[in-house]
Structure 1
């Protein structure tokens, strides 16, 4: 059994490495297919009229070479941890990403945690109270969460909860009168707790709550509906009825039999939902002035900053690969039948 699990993990790890290489190829190809001239986007009008300056710009950033040569050079630099230099900030792309990625990861991570806790709980409650008032209410609520556009919900939340009702802090990650906690992970909530700065921690949690809730609304609705369906399917199985016939407590039947069997499809949806959370951060970060990778990607794309755009694509793709690997590992741990596939 142990060797079977090790072989399963080795296969999934090998597939993840191939996917990572594929991500670099897709990111590089799509970025360079974007119409527009990086020189025109980054040089001023006066400099653009000077052929010598344009030529120097293209040579400096390797834009004068064929695309296959550029890709090989990109892979070679990537193997040494070099993502290139941003054409807008004139800093290494990895330094920019190290500054912006933790903010997005904190926001998306909080939204995912909130989605899992609330969505799974609502789905289980709806399944156990099937066709009752509670079930009907949760189904309507989940449908609203799935249907409402994230950007529109963010605008409403910002206007009513912050501007009109003053129930939540404004934009940013902490209050403007406070300084950021000592950098350890880049996550303000974690770093503030590690430093014992509980006032900064409370401010960071307060600023995080509203955008995380807005970002999680869609995923909560999705998980509620999917969990309800998965739990209802398991509740109708013979082994669940047999467990109940033995007189086992309802809590034991739910946790040991029902939830464990329903976890595999729930984990699948949760892994896919993380992708929607990352894509939704662009709009939410813009509305709440959250200094994350979404704003960085938007500014890089509008300025045709190709190294920065490729860096963002590579980071997002790597996150997808890691999340899928974690989901596969959890499959093998929860369901032994998956290990033999």
Structure 2
């Protein structure tokens, strides 16, 4: 009996100790980053093309190429190259761009805030539209509201984001002629001096509301085009989860006691049904960091995602490796945050992880 009681107490202690679970997550995510860095390093070394030749151009002599290889450390053994690369990467040094000659970390630091701002606003739009739409379609199942919501979600999932971007530009050209559709802000305005690089936050901090309004206007169409696929997906998942939980015994019991449907939906069902959408939302945020390049190109956004595409097309290996690692880092962080949120919403997940 005492052994069984001690076992139950140990399990309860593990359930109520989220710090150890987060430490296990951090160790696992560090392993993911290590594997990712090793894979991208190996792929960069076996891909056709000499990085030194790419950096110097076709007119360089073989002696100049050999000297550049020594300068880039390409003459060292592979294990030493990888060790140096990881050590420099931990310090934020990803080497120089083979095309521009500038530090890759500086280029990414200048362009990443633009994509982050676009992705954050996109995620907010997804949450603000898809969750209420999913709840409404589930609550009014098989009605015209449900049919309209399902049609909207199917269109969002199946239609490419670049097509939404072009359609929005056509709408602006024909009906909203004063609405900006290119760039991040009106070129006549002076940008606030930091500190984050996110124009909405920086302009609000400095009280520059002209820049704030212009940045918000420039953000709406790109974020809406980028959000359509996520809106369709999260709407369908939320609807399915709500319908599934409506059949549970505890929900039926609440209905039998005369609890209003509004209370059941927003106090119980929505919380239970939010686990699957939140999980997808974390993956959506991480994928948007690297997959926003199409929308950025259409709206001339000039962000991190389009920089990554340009680096791939020009075989700028240092830039490509840095883009992959930064994207992987955001993927890891997004999943860690989602895990924390899910464990706070549903304590059963902490008990499951503890086992």
What band does the TM-score fall into relative to the shorter chain?
Answer: over 0.9
Q: Which moved more, 1:198-207 or 1:236-245?
A: 236-245
Residue in structure 2 matched with residue 25 of structure 1 by the alignment? 38
Instruction: Provide the residue aligned with 2:135 in structure 1.
Output: 124
Unaligned runs of 5+ in 1: none
Distance 2:220 2:244 in 1: 34
| TM-score of the pair, normalised by structure 1 | 0.94
Give the direction of change, closer, same or farther, for the CA distance of 1:229–1:167 in structure 2 (3 Å limit): farther
Map 1:191-202; keep pairs closer than 5 Å.
Answer: 191-202=202-213
Moved more, 254-263 or 86-95: 86-95
Q: Which of 61, 64, 67 matches 2:75?
A: 64
Give yes or no for the alignment of 1:301 onto 2:312: yes
Secondary structure of 2:292's counterpart equals helix
Aligned pairs, number? 338
CA distance in 1, matches of 2:90, 2:152: 47
> Is 1:75 matched with 2:75?
no
SS in structure 2 at match of 1:217: helix
Deviation of residue 303 (structure 1)?
Answer: 2.4
Pairing of 1:33-44 with structure 2 (within 5 A):
33-44=46-57
By relative contact order (CA 8 Å, sep 6+), the higher-ranking structure is: 1
How many Å separate the matches in 2 of 1:279 and 1:265? 22
Alpha-carbon displacement from aligned partner over 1:60-108 (angstroms, at most 9, x marks no partner) = 2222334332111101212333222222232222211111111000011
- Superposition deviation, residue 267 in structure 1: 0.9
Q: Distance in 2 between matches of 1:107 and 1:30?
A: 30
Which residue of the partner structure matches residue 162 of structure 1? 172
TM-score (normalised: structure 2): 0.90
Structure 1: 4+ residue segments shifted above 6 A: none
In the other structure, the counterpart of 2:225 is 214
User: Partners of 1:45 and 1:250 in 2: how far apart?
Assistant: 71
**Residues 157 and 40 (structure 1 numbering): CA distance in 2 closer, same or farther, change over 3 Å?**
farther
Give the 5 Å matches for 1:1-341. 3-47=16-60, 50-158=61-169, 160-165=170-175, 166=177, 168-340=179-351, 341=353
Q: Offset at 1:206? A: 0.4
Give me the whole-angstrom Cα distance separating, in 2, the residues matched to 1:291 and 1:14: 34
- Partner of 2:93: helix, strand, or coil? coil
**Does the Cα contact within 8 Å between 2:245 and 2:251 map onto a contact in 1?**
yes
> Higher Cα Rg: structure 1 or 2?
2
